[in-house]
Each structure stands twice: as structure tokens, then as C-alpha cells.
Structure 1
Amino acid sequence: MLQKWIYASERGYGAKWQRERRKFLDSNPFCVKCYEEGHLTKATVVDHIKPHRGDQKLFWDRGNWQALCKRCHDRKTLTEDINPVYRYKKTFAEEAKVKG
């Protein structure tokens, strides 16, 4: 089955995204995953923590962005984002809300 290739700009990654991406990386210059492992690696990708799958509100939610290096982003995309149903670990705040 051939997949129709959609240009990045058609998926929302146009000039506005490029400007916001640059500002975010200027403010967050290191990969958060590498930093967690004790390494300082330059971030080159703004990743959507929870895949937006076209949801514009989630796409532009800066709280859903993280700075990653290409290696970590590619690993995350292949292991987490490829699934049609997004699974995520609940944060401490979400767990506390459930326990009420």
C-alpha cells in the first residue's frame, strides 16, 4: 500500500512553527532525555510529548513540548508515537487526583 506523502507545512509545521520552534530551542538548548541520563546534548527537535495527531490545541500547547536531540526523538517516535493509541505514564498530580 502506498502512503500519500504530506509536506511538513501541510501538517502544521510551516513558518509559524519554525519561529516558535527556534524560540523554544533557544530557551531549552539541551535534550531532556540525555540530561536525565547525565549527558549534555544539544537539542535540535521540539517534540510533542503526547502526539497531537492533528489536534491543533495539543499541537500548540507549549506544556506538551520538550527539547530532544534527533537520536532521542527518533527513538521516542519509533517506540511510543507509532502506536495509534497513545499510552502515557500518569504524572504524580494525575495519580493524586485519581486517589482524591
Structure 2
Amino acid sequence: MPPRPPKPCRKPGCRNLATDAGGYCPEHKHLADEALALRRSAQDKVRGNAAKRGYGAHWQRVRHLKLRRDPLCAICARAAEVVHHRDGNPRNNASGNLMSLCRECHERLHGRLRTPHSGPNPC
């Protein structure tokens, strides 16, 4: 893929060029990082903590048992790190609803990752 063409920095008054996806030159990149931290902080306040979302002590026990029972990713057979709810309901911890996955396959299922596996067994 060709490199990103340089564009003017998003910082008002800055005459530097930026090739970073955030739109800031190296001198003002910290502004993009600060803005991202603020957005994430606001989102965390809205969504609540893990226990409120259904991932409390009971879930931790269920997750541990599932990973011990099925230590390999159900999609690519790499080491599993995550237990996925097939129906998306974090309170439905029935064994048929749970799936052991590696982090890459889990992120791909949720649409947060679009790159292929770097390992020998692509999903």
C-alpha cells in the first residue's frame, strides 16, 4: 500500500505536514492522543464496569473452566485467550453458548480487526 500523502496538521496555526492517520504532525501528535483518551474515558463512564455488564466473579469462574476444557481457538486452533458468547448475551453462560477463541479471531468476529492471521492457520 502506498504511503499516506502528507496533509496540513489539524492544529490551528501549525504549518507542518502530517502523514499520521490522526491528522497531526509529530510535534502535535500528543493532542490526538489526549483527545482519544478523553473519548475513551467518556465511553467508559457510560458503559459501566465489567460486573455491571455481566462479567463479575461468576463469569470469571465460567471463563476459567471453559478455557481449561477447550484451550484451543475454535476457529484457528491456536491457544485460546478469550471466551465468546455466541448469542452476544453476557448473562447466558450455557456451555453451548460459549466458544474459546484466540484474541485475533475474537476481534475479527466483532469487526474490530480486518487483517488476516499472522500464524500458520488462517481463520
Provide TM-score, normalisation by structure 1.
Answer: 0.62
Q: What is the rounded CA distance, in whole Å, between the counterparts of 2:59 and 2:100 in structure 1? A: 14
Q: Which runs of 5+ in 1 are unaligned?
A: 36-40, 80-100
**Over 4 Å off, 4+ runs:** none
| Larger RCO (CA under 8 A, 6+ residues apart) | 1
Q: Which runs of 5+ in 2 are unaligned?
A: 1-38, 113-123
**Residues matched between the structures, number:** 70
Higher percent of residues as helix: 1
Provide TM-score, normalisation by structure 2.
Answer: 0.51
CA RMSD of aligned residues (A): 1.9
The answer to whether structure 1 residue 22 and structure 2 residue 64 are counterparts is yes
Deviation at 1:8, TM superposition (A): 1.0
Paired residue secondary structure (2:110): helix
Which residue number in structure 2 is paired with residue 88 of structure 1? none
Q: Provide the identity percentage.
A: 37
